[in-house]
Amino acid sequence: MNKIRHLTILGSTGSIGESTLDVVSRHPDLFNVIALTANHSVEKMRTQCHRFKPRFAVMLSADCADQLAQSLKQDHLDTQVLSGVESLEKVAALQEVDIVMAAIVGAAGIRPTFAAAKAGKLVLLANKETLVMAGRIFMDMVKEYGATLLPIDSEHNAIHQSLPHDFDGNMENKGIRRILLTASGGPFRKAPLNTLKHVTPEQACAHPNWDMGRKISVDSATMMNKGLEVIEAHWLFNAAPENIQVVIHPQSVIHSMVEYIDGSVLAQLGNPDMRTPIAHAMGFPERIESGVTSLDMFKVAHLDFEKPDFGRFPCLRLAYLALEAGGNMPAVLNAANEIAVESFLDKKIPFTAIPDMIEHVMLESKQETMQSLGDVLEIDRSARELARDWLCTLS
């Protein structure tokens, strides 16, 4: 890279944000942090501001922004503290910013990610909801405004690395038969089905391979995380649902594969550490040091693969149904899942009720097309309301 790249990190206090900053810290000659954003983690943000001295720090909550501003003033730091979604959009579109890491979890990350695309930035996409809820609208915006999109999910980044360098979205012309999307299977891959209704939030968040936030950990346990990734893969690689195969791979060493019509299967392997895809995208098209330890193939010894069971993982089935239905259904699926996971983590519903809530909301939602981000946000609001209404019937 010939010049320093200036960076905004949306969601800097989450696991992806922290891993991104770890990569940045290894390359002070390559990256400069312009803006950091967070929801409510004031102390983490304060520490990050001390270390990386961004020009802007954005807290979604005004109260948290006030707390941070007072702390930084006492510390004699001149970082400007802002608050609210509009400020997230502002720092995502700053003229001096080259790269935007979109790592805010949930629907809250959509608006600033759209703002980054509209400003023609290099968008490193770790926010699943942008593509799940508004895939066609977002991809059209990326093209219209000349933005560049690179996936950060380990699976989609692996697919990106395994595709031809000149892949243009036409799988048939490039001799691609299908995408093989690997999944760990989560903590309950082998658990007796009759025990799942007793699963606690603590158990669901104990992922066997990855260190993730609570919401994503629950999504991994239900395999909704993989369902959302199927929808993402559809938009990122222009792949039909029938050309995306989920493969359970408990070791999480192969991060995904691409099968070609000549029988070749290209895979990307590595230790389960998000700094690998982050460094790959941040340095692209060059390779930069990530801090990830080398993969010890002798220690791994063997690799296992299983076909996912929709009976055990009904959320994965619902995700395929939503993708096949198209229109607003992926957005409905995502909104209902967010409420269901929140309700489970708050111990309002059992683990096995998560797919029940999602299926109810999908059945109650009218099939619609979406033309704008406003349409997406209204569908998201309506689906959440249906989910909360269903929750009220249980009490």
Would you list the DSSP string of 323-376? HHH-TTHHHHHHHHHHHHHHHHHTTSS-TTHHHHHHHHHHHHSPP----SHHHH
Q: Are residues 55 and 108 in the same domain?
A: yes
Banded model confidence at residue 150, pLDDT cuts 50, 70, 90? very high
Q: Are residues 265 and 171 in the same domain?
A: yes
127: enclosing H helix or E strand: none
Q: Are residues 191 and 144 in the same domain?
A: no
Q: Are residues 159 and 81 in the same domain?
A: no
Mean pLDDT across 140-168: 96
**How many angstroms separate the Cα of 372 from the Cα of each of 21, 62, 111, 213?**
33, 28, 12, 30
Mean pLDDT across 152-177: 96
**Whole-angstrom Cα distance, residue 369 to residue 379?**
10
One-letter amino acid identity for 197? Answer: K
Mean pLDDT across 360-366: 97
Among the ranges given (106-115, 172-181, 352-361), the one the predictor scored with the smallest mean pLDDT: 106-115
Is the pLDDT at 373 greater than 70? The verdict is yes
pLDDT of 211 reads 62
Domain's final residue, options 151, 169, 199: 151
Domain's final residue, options 103, 128, 151: 151
pLDDT of 64 reads 97
Q: Are residues 174 and 136 in the same domain?
A: no
Is the pLDDT at 128 greater than 80? The verdict is yes
pLDDT of 39 reads 92
In a domain, 284, yes or no: no
Is the pLDDT at 226 greater than 80? The verdict is yes
pLDDT of 209 reads 66
pLDDT of 301 reads 94
In a domain, 277, yes or no: no
More confident residue, 215 or 304: 304
Banded model confidence at residue 216, pLDDT cuts 50, 70, 90? confident
Mean pLDDT across 57-75: 96
Mean pLDDT across 209-213: 67
In a domain, 257, yes or no: yes
Is the pLDDT at 105 greater than 90? The verdict is no
Q: Are residues 200 and 336 in the same domain?
A: no
Q: Are residues 307 and 333 in the same domain?
A: no
Is the pLDDT at 147 greater than 80? The verdict is yes
User: Which 8-state DSSP code applies to residue 191?
Assistant: S
Q: Are residues 363 and 223 in the same domain?
A: no
pLDDT of 179 reads 98
Mean pLDDT across 228-243: 97
Domain's final residue, options 285, 313, 341: 313
Is the pLDDT at 215 greater than 70? The verdict is yes
Q: Are residues 146 and 37 in the same domain?
A: yes
pLDDT of 345 reads 96
**Whole-angstrom Cα distance, residue 335 to residue 319?**
12
Q: Are residues 165 and 249 in the same domain?
A: yes
| Mean pLDDT score across all residues of the chain | 95
User: For residue 350, with 0-12 CB atoms within 10 Å meaning exposed, 13-18 middle and 19 or more buried, which class applies?
Assistant: middle
Q: What is the CATH number of the domain that holds 113?
A: 3.40.50.720
Mean pLDDT across 158-170: 96
In a domain, 393, yes or no: yes
In a domain, 141, yes or no: yes
Mean pLDDT across 343-369: 97
Q: What is the CATH number of the domain that holds 339?
A: 1.10.1740.10
Q: 266, 272, 292: which is closest to 184 by C-alpha?
A: 272
In a domain, 280, yes or no: no
Q: What is the distance in angstroms between the CA of the first residue and the CA of the last residue of the chain?
A: 58
Banded model confidence at residue 256, pLDDT cuts 50, 70, 90? very high
Is the pLDDT at 1 greater than 70? The verdict is no
pLDDT of 108 reads 83
Residue 195 sits at the vertex; the CA angle it makes with 194 and 198, to the nearest 5 degrees, is 125
13: phi then psi, degrees, rounded to nearest 5: -95, -5
Mean pLDDT across 241-245: 97
Mean pLDDT across 339-358: 97
Can you give the residue range of the structural domain that contains 342?
Answer: 326-395
Banded model confidence at residue 341, pLDDT cuts 50, 70, 90? very high
In a domain, 372, yes or no: yes
Q: Are residues 361 and 309 in the same domain?
A: no
Q: 153, 142, 134: which is closest to 115 by C-alpha?
A: 142
Q: Are residues 12 and 138 in the same domain?
A: yes
**Total number of domains in the chain:** 3
Is the pLDDT at 241 greater than 80? The verdict is yes
Mean pLDDT across 136-140: 96
In a domain, 346, yes or no: yes
